[in-house]
Amino acid sequence: MLVELWNEYWPLLSAMLVVLIAIPTLGLYMTYIERKVAAAMQDRIGPNRVGPLGLLQAVADGLKIFLKEQVVPAHVDKWIYLTAPAIGVVTSMLAFAVVPFGPVSPEGPHTGFRFIIAPGVEIGLVFIFAVSSLSAYAIILGGWASNNKYSLYGAIRSCAQFISYEIPLGMSVLGVFAITGSMNLEKIVYQQSSFLEWNIWWQPLAALIFFTSALAESNRLPFDLSECEQELVGGFHTEYSGIKFVLFFLAEYTHVVTISFLTVLLFFGGWHLPGLTDPADPTAMGTALRLLVLLAKVGVVVFFIMMLRWTLPRFRFDQLMGLAWKGFIPLSLFNLLGVMIVISLDLSPYWMTLFSLIVFLVAGALNVSQLNNRLRSPSSPTIRTRAEGAY
């Protein structure tokens, strides 16, 4: 009896153990990597004191955080204040349960070690969206429990931001569902085994909307309006320190990793790379090669996200909301309309590519025209000096 239970549950337990160990460790080292990327972009050295090339800096930071005094301000709502960071970590890691972190066959049985905690979930993406949206409660409760006006402002901004970008985020993947006929991530990747069948070629506009909306939901620059140090001190986590502060950032980095995996799995062929990997290769070498391909693609996306943080300025809040409601939601509707037309008329999938490019170009032309009209308008605001009363 015990042997049967062990044979049934050890793949699940081993996958959970890998995720529970890898995600916090990766979160620690992503801070080191991001500091190195920032230093390279700003012509600095970055962390280089602890260990060779500064590789032990993340370990030193982790030990320092655990040894710091755990301060709880007297004016906070203590239980909600302590619960909020835990909600952020639990929801962000729970969303990773249906994300393959290595090559997984869409056909069972799933025996032996597998690179996913919960295989074969037919509504996998719906589960991810549902669980990841709950992470907004961590920020909202943290801001509310802090009894700090700046924290509350950050929490309210976060609520509006999450609600707004959930809509284009969900609508952008509807075209992928329609093409593949499944919400199962393993099946979506399996249907992209050929390079020309990657969804990025058929759904470029959807990929752009998905990635940008997911980035906005992760509160990363240029979308970190819930933190916004220049306006809100630290935003929703102003009153947090020590391990509680780290839990918020662990949730953020976990969300970044999940975004990167989903972007690669949905649009860039997952663990497939024609000429290098063979989808039908069952050997250990073939599995290892596909795993390395997936991790390399995810690493490229994570590096791109880090570069964006030090490249683009932060949006104003009205620009942030306008991008969602006036930009991404109409574009995702037009993209879905094009997919439905192509599928209904049984046309080549590359008509969706053409339709996406036309929609993108028309939207860009309209934005440029609107900007020119504002600049030429005599009633448009002009730059004034302090002596002229601009301040």
If you write DSSP's letter for every residue of 30-71 in order, what string do you get? HHHHHHHHHHHHTT---S-SSSGGGTTHHHHHHHHHHHS---
| Residue 306 host element (H or E) | helix 284-309
pLDDT at 265: 92
177's torsion region: left (phi>0), alpha (psi -120 to 50) or beta?
Answer: alpha
Q: Could you tell me which of 156, 160, 177 has the C-alpha nearest to residue 216?
A: 160
Sorted by where each begins, the domain ranges of the chain are 2-367
Return the pLDDT at 383. 43
Helix H or strand E segment including 375: helix 350-376
Question: Which phi-psi region, left, alpha or beta, contains residue 202 (left: φ > 0; alpha: ψ -120 to 50)?
Answer: alpha
Q: What is the pLDDT of residue 246?
A: 85
CB distance 96 to 16 below 8 Å: no
- Structure confidence at residue 264 (pLDDT): 94
Specify the pLDDT at position 195.
85
Angle, helices 242-267/78-94, rounded to nearest 10 degrees: 20
List pLDDT tens digits, range 271-284: 888 877 777 777 88
pLDDT of residue 239: 86
- Residue 211, pLDDT score: 93
pLDDT of 384 reads 44
Query: Does the N-terminal peptide bond of residue 222 adopt cis geometry, omega within 30 degrees of 0?
Result: yes
State which residues of the chain have pLDDT below 50: 382-391
Backbone angles phi, psi at 272, to 5 degrees: -90, 140
Structure tokens at 112: 């032996």
Q: How far apart are CA 135 and CA 139, in angstroms?
A: 7
Per-residue confidence (pLDDT) for residue 391, from 0 to 100: 36
pLDDT at 385 (0 to 100):
42
